[in-house]
Amino acid sequence: MVKAVVLGAAGGIGQPLSLLLKTNPLVTELALYDIVNTPGVAADLSHIATPAKVEGFLPPDDGLKKALKGADVVVIPAGVPRKPGMTRDDLFKINAGIVRDLATGIATTAPKAFVLVISNPVNSTVPIVAEVFKKHGVFDPKRIFGVTTLDVVRSSTFVSEILGDLSLAPSVTVPVVGGHSGVTIIPLLSQSSHPLPSNLSQDKFEALVKRIQFGGDEVVKAKDGAGSATLSMAYAGAEFTAKILRAVKGEKGIVAPTFVNLSADKTSGDALKKEIGKDLEYFSAPVELGPEGVVTIRPLGKLSDYEKKLVEAAIPELETNIEKGVSFIGSSK
């Protein structure tokens, strides 16, 4: 029996993500929480002929607590998305408080649940969730994840486009490490399962890296004020959730890049800090998942000189983003 909960379930990401979770046969109960519209979304999804029992909750009458009771996995796409010209960091003012309040609900109601954070800026919202859990004495770094899967999904797609064969996309894997915003998104293209064409010019290579780092901007621009990636994000969020659920069920060897606290596994976390040459508290790296969450954090491996520079360039921004999330909880009541 697996209970999955979506917080922000009526939103642009929340609705298609809830749809995809409803179609996951591993989910037996699906609770949808939002400040609006969840009864309607739940009624609609509940007619789909799959095992999950769906229920919608709103804030009155302790709706958040009721939604979270007995949760195994909680996915958080609640908050405002970007508009043209905004960075993910611009969302901090509004989303930090939303994520803090939802994390408080999880810490007090379902402290053992796996928490998958989609709300941006992920580099700061994951530390916010962790700090709230610390305050409540229930922090387990193995169970809190920043969802960076969309960067991985985009890499697979864009690389297969360069290879001239989109049918390769599902099998192309590129580790994407660092964080989830602009220059902190580091695709390790030298480790792509499908090598890039050897005659690819440096200009085209750099344009590909930029496109992976700033792919979200393409969607924000095309939506022209109506938000950011929702459907591709829902797909990515459902993929990552499915991996967590398979690992919980005991499947071995499941690896996914995700933004985690490096104390989740001390030995491999310390080794990663050495590899990047900085004592960062959080970093996105390929993580092996198991029934208790993080099993081990995989090393970045051999990097090209270009990739080493990308890591160096990402560190100052990561440091600032992480500190912003940590101090928000330190300073908030």
Footprint of ligand NAI (CB under 6 A): 7-8, 10-14, 33-36, 77-82, 91, 95, 98, 101-102, 118-120, 122, 147, 150, 180, 227-230, 233
> What minimum distance in Å lies between the beta carbon of 184 and ligand NAI?
12
Nearer to ligand NAI, 36 or 48 (CB): 36
CB 145 within 8 A of CB 116: yes
Comparison of 12 and 269: residue with beta carbon closer to ligand NAI: 12
169 touches 156 (CB < 8 A)? yes
CB atoms < 10 A from the CB of 266, how many? 11
The amino acid sitting at 87 is T
Of 145 and 163, the one with the shorter C-beta distance to ligand NAI is 145
47 as an active site residue: the answer is no
Residue 306 is which amino acid?
Answer: Y
User: What is the closest distance, in whole angstroms, from the C-beta atom of residue 11 to ligand NAI in the complex?
Assistant: 2
Q: How many residues does the chain have?
A: 333
* Options 47, 136, 180, 194, the catalytic residue: 180
Rg (CA), the chain: 19
β-bridge pairing 114-117 and 73-76:
parallel
- Closest to ligand NAI by CB, 12 vs 141, is 12
Q: What is the DSSP letter of 196?
A: P
236, amino acid identity:
A
Which residue has its beta carbon closest to ligand NAI? 11
Residue placing its CB nearer to ligand NAI in the complex, 46 or 87:
87
Residue 122 CB, shortest distance to ligand NAI, in Å, is 5
Distance CA 28, CA 21 (A): 10
In whole angstroms, the minimum distance from the beta carbon of 324 to ligand NAI comes to 15
Amino acid at 318: L
| C-beta of residue 78 within 8 angstroms of C-beta of residue 98 | yes
The H or E element that residue 268 is part of is helix 266-276
Shortest distance in whole angstroms from residue 330 CB to ligand NAI: 21
Cα angle 88, 148, 296; round to 5: 135
Task: Report the catalytic residues.
Answer: 180
